[in-house]
Amino acid sequence: MTTDPKADATFERFKARIDALKSAPPLEKARTFLKSYCALNSKLSDVEEQIRHALGFNSIPLWTGIEGLETVLSDKQLPASTLVSLVRDDANRKELPATPEAARQYLEQVLGLLREYLPKQPEGEGVVSFGIDEVYNLRDPAGKLERLRCIDAVGVEKQSFAVLVPEHASEDQGPFTVYRYQSVLGQPLQYDRVTDAGLIAKVLKVSQS
% helix, strand, coil for the chain, step of 5: 45, 20, 35
14 pLDDT band, cuts 50/70/90, is: low
The stretch 33-45 carries a mean pLDDT of 93
Is the overall model pTM greater than 0.75, yes or no?
Answer: no
pLDDT score of 94: 94
Please indicate, yes or no, whether residues 101 and 162 belong to a single structural domain of this protein. Answer: no
Please indicate, yes or no, whether residues 105 and 138 belong to a single structural domain of this protein. Answer: no
Residue 129, helix vs strand vs coil = coil
Instruction: Show the beta-strand stretches assigned E in 35-186.
Output: 135-139, 145-156, 159-166, 177-182
- Domain membership flag for residue 129: no
- Specify whether the CB–CB gap between 173 and 195 falls below 8 A: no
Please indicate, yes or no, whether residues 22 and 68 belong to a single structural domain of this protein. Answer: yes
Kindly report, residue by residue over 142-164, the tens digit of the pLDDT. Answer: 888 888 999 999 999 899 999 99
Please indicate, yes or no, whether residues 152 and 108 belong to a single structural domain of this protein. Answer: no
pLDDT score of 2: 45
Q: How many helices (H) and strands (E) does the chain have?
A: 7, 5
1 pLDDT band, cuts 50/70/90, is: very low
* Average of per-residue pLDDT values in the chain: 87
Residue 142 DSSP one-character state: T
Please indicate, yes or no, whether residues 108 and 146 belong to a single structural domain of this protein. Answer: no
Please indicate, yes or no, whether residues 110 and 138 belong to a single structural domain of this protein. Answer: no
Q: What's the distance, CA 103 to chain centroid?
A: 27
Q: How many domains does the chain have?
A: 2
- Specify whether the CB–CB gap between 166 and 176 falls below 8 A: no
The stretch 92-117 carries a mean pLDDT of 93
Largest CA distance in the chain: 68
Q: How far apart are CA 56 and CA 59, in angstroms?
A: 8
Q: What are phi and psi of 147, to 5 degrees?
A: -100, 120
